[in-house]
Amino acid sequence: MVNPPDTRKPALLLVSDSEDETFQIGVAFGTALRPGDCLLLSGDLGAGKTRLVHGIAKAIESPIPARSPTFVIVNEYPGRIHLSHCDLYRVGSVEEVEELALDERLSKGALVVEWPEISGDLLIDDALFVRIENGDHENQRIISFTPTGYSAGQLLGRASAVYEALDASVGLEHNDK
């Protein structure tokens, strides 16, 4: 297991000027997601972590819309691939994190973890750290991506290509409901 990359330079920075753009970034990552991929989402309350997951769930064609798992701790989304969405915000100890068996969830599909800082040193070795910070205006977010291993780097490359293709599409529309 690895600790968050506090001292590593992000491999990619994106600026989102709206919730819709954050959703679209999630769609790009969901489109690129493969079994065994892990994203660790960090940011203040209300930063847009769950909004990003809404886009991921939409892209994996989950019949269940994403919702914040704060009170449930783990939500499962079936689709093109199985997605486990964990929120560690209300987890009280590293022992409780251990009981969630985060690494075992990767054998079923992909994993997204909100508030990974709470897990201590129990994080997945090869993960993509995603940090969402407030920008210059109310809806702007600065989103940084830092891979910690080969698979996470591959995910970032695939998702970047999808995002560029989506961004270049003229008249691109989506319905996130």
148 within a domain of the structure (yes/no): yes
Is 177 contained in some domain? no
Sign of the C-alpha dihedral, residues 82, 80, 40, 43? negative
With CA atoms as reference, report the closest residue to 29 among 117, 110, 115, 119: 110
Q: Is residue 5 part of a domain?
A: no
pLDDT confidence of residue 104: 84
Our count of domains for the chain comes to 1
* Contact (Cβ atoms closer than 8 angstroms) between residue 76 and residue 49: no
CA pair distance 12, 36, nearest whole angstrom: 21
- As a whole number of angstroms, the distance between CA 42 and CA 113 comes to 9
E strand intervals along 17-73: 38-43
Neighbours of 124 (CB within 10 A): 25
Give the structural domain span for 95. Answer: 12-168
| More confident of the two residues 105 and 42 | 42
- Residue 171 has what pLDDT? 45
Q: What is the pLDDT of residues 79-133, one digit of tens each?
A: 999 999 988 888 877 777 778 878 888 888 999 998 888 776 667 789 999 999 9
Confirm whether 174 is domain-assigned: no
CATH number at residue 120: 3.40.50.300
